[in-house]
Amino acid sequence: MVQSIWTRTRRLQPDSPARIRSFLNEPSDTRALAACLRSVEPVFQQAKIEAADLYAKKILVQYAAIRAMVPDVVVETGVASGVSTSYILLALHKNRRGKLHSIEVGDPQYLPPGKSTGWIVPDWLKANWNLRIGDARVLLPQLISEYAFIDVFIHDSRHSYDHMLWEFRATYPRLRPGGLLMCDDAAWNLAFSEFTREVGAIKASQLRGVGFLQKNSS
């Protein structure tokens, strides 16, 4: 797995296999996060909902990319219980820099009964987190307008062709040269691959279901 990740991502963010391996091991080696994930396992097992795998390899791929890139401004759409969000926040915590801005529509069908958006995110990771609840078509333009550039955009909200393309097109102009656009479940439809061609991206790849696109430097 390590060699595969390194082979696919070195075009986006040069790094050695050994360093990538160290990043991939960090979440499980971080006792506070590992304990948090173990504590919520029974809730996910009992809840009859579609939820992210607490230990999914695709989450580790995103984690490693954030660790290697060391971004200042990260924007994501789609939070639900906060599985991926927790990993991203841990990466920023390890980097000792950066802030995560999350947008979530707040649909209870994706949450265990009685739980709120991002309920599994540990308190000790929340200092670098800004959560906004509402429609991404309203909140996303407002959010990105607050920055001259953003470093990373992560799509993990509604995976419809039209909505994915809209999010990509809305955020790409604010993505700094060399910045990274990530798309969860990129193979669900043609939006990611078509957008890659639309912007003439030189560096783009898909790994473990996650699409990676690095904005051209010029």
Question: ∠ CA 166-168-171 to the nearest 5 degrees?
Answer: 105
Tell me the pTM: 0.90
**Burial bucket for residue 44 (CB in 10 Å: 0-12, 13-18, 19+):** middle
Are 59 and 85 within 8 A, CB to CB?
no
Taking the C-alpha atoms of residue 109 and residue 112, their distance in angstroms, rounded to an integer, is 8
Residue 142 CB coordination number (10 Å): 11
Q: What is the pLDDT of residue 5?
A: 42
Q: What are the DSSP calls for 95-113, one per residue? A: HT--EEEEEE---GGGS-T
Q: What is the pLDDT of residue 27?
A: 93
Single-letter code of the amino acid located at 105: V
| pLDDT tens, residue by residue, 132-150 | 999 999 999 999 999 999 9
Q: What is the pLDDT of residue 54?
A: 79
Q: What is the pLDDT of residue 18?
A: 72
Q: pLDDT below 50 — which residues of the chain? A: 1-9, 11-12
The helix-helix angle for 17-29 and 31-46 (nearest 10°) equals 60
Q: What is the pLDDT of residue 1?
A: 39
Q: What is the pLDDT of residue 17?
A: 66
| pLDDT tens, residue by residue, 45-87 | 887 666 567 777 788 989 999 999 999 999 999 999 999 999 9
For domain 2-214, the CATH class is alpha beta
- Within 8 A by CB and 6+ apart from 181, the residues are 152, 153, 155, 168, 171, 172, 175, 211, 212, 213, 214, 215
